[in-house]
Chains A and B, each alone.
Chain A
Amino acid sequence: MNFSFLLVAALTLAGALAAMALRNLVHCVLALVVGFVGLAAIYLQLGAQFVGLAQIFVYAGAVAILAAFVILLTQGVEHRTRPAAAMDWAVGALLACGVFAVLAWAVVRGVAHLPIAAPPSNAGVHAIGDAMLHRFVLPLEVAGLLLTVALIGAVLLAMRDGEAGA
């Protein structure tokens, strides 16, 4: 529990909180990027270099930009930003607090029994590639298939009705 972890964790939490609380949707997405980059930094601290960089590449580079695009595409429709919440605000927050309390209790109780920290391990890109193409080759193929299907599906969904045959 060192200082740099606390710093990055605070940054991540601030980004996530702002992403969920701000009024302006674009501000939310930008705050979300801060949260994602903070998480990537935590992955780097944990020694998972590849995952951390993939996190920035996929989330900050693709998902956030995509969300921003969709906001700009759809926001021309609704000009009013109403502060009221879908559910009662307090009920939602209370539920989330309850979930956090249960999770925190489980974490603190459960981790106490675990042996403390293995030595730093090596997450070399070679080891990841090796595991991906041997032990995890089936999940890899399924993920590839899923991404292809998602690509085609997204294109079809976003296409205007008249254009489908063109």
Chain B
Amino acid sequence: MNPLTGYLLLAALLFSIGLAGVLTRRSAILMLVGMELMLNAANLNLIAFWRYGPNPAAMTGVLFALFSIGVAAAEAAVGLGLLVAVARRVRTTDVDQMDAMRG
């Protein structure tokens, strides 16, 4: 069996777990965590394809993963900052209760 399969299946599993979390959990923080998991699954795909791809010398997969890590960090910072601001107004991080357009 191609070793690539194992890594891709692992990434698919991680993605699904993250997706399930985002769909079923009601805490906004956990939804962000789920999104981070999905991003990480994508990163794993990038690294695996770089390693077993036709042209590893080009480093494209590695750099893409590095940029993706940077973007995820920015996303987490802004997302969590938003959460703090929202929680200060509506006194909750439960997405079901954030249903008012005016704070």
Contact = CB atoms under 8 A, between A and B. Distances in A.
In the complex, is A directly touching B at CB under 8 Å? yes
Interface residues of B, number: 75
A42 B10 CA distance: 10
A146 B81 CA distance: 15
B77 A151 contact: yes
A89 B88 CA distance: 28
A136 B20 contact: no
Given A62-B73, A74-B83, A117-B2, A35 B37 contact: yes
Contacts of A34: none
Contacts of B18: 16, 20
Interface residues of A, number: 84
Interface in B10-30: 10, 12-21, 23-27, 29-30
A154 interface: yes
Interface string A117-157: 11001010001100110001001100100110111011101
B62 A71 contact: no
Contacts of B74: 146-147, 149-150
B63 A92 contact: no
Contact of B84 (A32, A73, A97): A73
B13 A100 contact: yes
Nearest to A121: B56
Given A35-B37, A74-B83, A146-B71, A114 B4 contact: yes
Nearest to A78: B92
Contact of B10 (A13, A54, A78, A131): A13
A93 B20 contact: yes
A4 B33 CA distance: 26
Contacts of A70: 29, 80, 83-84
Given A99-B15, A99-B19, A107-B9, A85 B63 contact: no
A-B pairs, 9 with minimum CB distance? A20-B21, A92-B23, A121-B56, A96-B20, A150-B74, A92-B24, A154-B81, A100-B16, A103-B12
Interface of A: 1, 5, 9, 12-13, 16-17, 19-20, 25, 28-29, 32, 35-36, 39, 42-43, 46-48, 50-51, 54-55, 58-59, 62-63, 66-67, 69-71, 73-75, 77-78, 82, 84-87, 89, 91-93, 95-97, 99-100, 103-104, 107-108, 111-112, 114, 116-118, 121, 123, 127-128, 131-132, 136, 139-140, 143, 146-147, 149-151, 153-155, 157-158, 160
